[in-house]
Amino acid sequence: MKSDMKYNSINEKKNIDKNDLKTHENPEPKNEVPFNRMNRKNILKLTVAGVFTALVLLSTQLKVPTAIGYANMGDGVILLASYLLGPAAFFPAAIGSALADLMAGYAPYIPATFVIKGLMGLAAGFIMKNEKVTVIRRLIAFIAAEAIMVAGYFAFEALMYGPAAAAGSIFPNLGQGVVGILVAMLLTTLLSKLRAAARVKLN
């Protein structure tokens, strides 16, 4: 009787071991498609954000003459990023602009630029986050972003140098804002079809 029980026990153990082996050899397929798709989209978002960070940095170095001095092209690229990326444009706007200040030797402005330019990208991107964005909505988003820029730098410079000195930068910054809006309107009109494709791949 004991030998039979022992024999049955050994057979049961062998059957369990065989089942475990089959499970390891042929594991049940896992549903990894959504996870992989999410990873790909996150990587793509980081890549596009990195590209726009570099574009903001480079375009800030490009200056165009205006009636009251010079304006750079950086704001136009920030607004384009907002149009394509939505609120996520905060990061390339903030980082690219702060790096531009670092390269230009304006170290005291780096924290303010990071916040101000980042808020420009965030605000404009939030206003344009819908699938369809009309020309009027684009214009409102761009004006709101540039208003943040003018008010933000005035507040920062008023703390640094006093309101009287800060007032002297209002008109140059307004000129910068106008150039940024014109550049952004041109670029977003030309790249309107790209936006639809970007939203499908990034969202």
In a domain, 22, yes or no: no
In a domain, 11, yes or no: no
Q: What is the pLDDT of residue 30?
A: 54
Q: What is the pLDDT of residue 140?
A: 96
Question: How many separate domains does the chain show?
Answer: 1
Strands 69-72 and 63-66, bridge-based pairing = antiparallel
CB of 64 closer than 8 Å to CB of 89: no
Q: What is the pLDDT of residue 27?
A: 54
Three-state DSSP state, 27: coil
* Alpha-carbon gap, residue 198 to 174, rounded angstroms: 31
Residues ≥6 apart with Cβ < 8 Å to 25: none
Q: What is the pLDDT of residue 28?
A: 52
In a domain, 37, yes or no: yes
In a domain, 95, yes or no: yes
* Alpha-carbon gap, residue 89 to 125, rounded angstroms: 7
In a domain, 12, yes or no: no
Which tokens is 29 given?
Answer: 């397929």
In a domain, 43, yes or no: yes
Which tokens is 47 given?
Answer: 């890549």
Domain of 112, in residue numbers: 30-202
In a domain, 64, yes or no: yes
Residue 178 Cα distances to 44, 68, 96, 182, angstroms: 31, 12, 20, 6
What's the pTM value of the predicted model, to 2 decimals?
0.77
Residue at 19: amino acid letter: N
Q: For position 131, which CATH number holds?
A: 1.10.1760.20
- Weakly modelled stretches of the chain, pLDDT under 50: 1-2, 5-7, 10, 14, 16, 18, 21-23, 33
Angle at 32 between CA 28 and CA 35, to 5 degrees: 155
Neighbours of 174 (CB within 10 A): 17
In a domain, 25, yes or no: no
Q: What is the pLDDT of residue 190?
A: 87
CB of 89 closer than 8 Å to CB of 78: yes
Q: What is the pLDDT of residue 44?
A: 79
